[in-house]
Amino acid sequence: MSTENSNDHFILKYRWEAGEEDFGIPVKISLSDKIETLQPTAQWQQLAIEGVDRDDIMIDQNQYFIKVVWE
């Protein structure tokens, strides 16, 4: 996962890097006061996030083996 910062929103980019092409597990992220469920695939996907500071985006790295990259 990575992010791009624009003037009024973030772009969250995400995908699975797994040896199995059809691998998929939903990932829940917290955006301040709401929960979003991502459906990552092997292809990059994007989610525009508005009205939330980057510090308010929480990904449970204890429940998921995920590498998070903040750009």
Determine the pLDDT at residue 1: 52
Range of the domain at 56: 2-70
Determine the pLDDT at residue 4: 54
- Indicate the number of domains in the chain: 1
55: helix, strand or coil: helix
Determine the pLDDT at residue 57: 84
pTM: 0.71
What is the side-by-side strand order in the sheet with 9-14? Answer: 45-50, 9-14, 2-5, 69-70
Determine the pLDDT at residue 32: 81
Give per-residue pLDDT as tens, 1-44.
Answer: 555 555 667 788 888 887 777 777 888 888 888 888 898 888 88
Return the bridge partners of 37, or none: 28
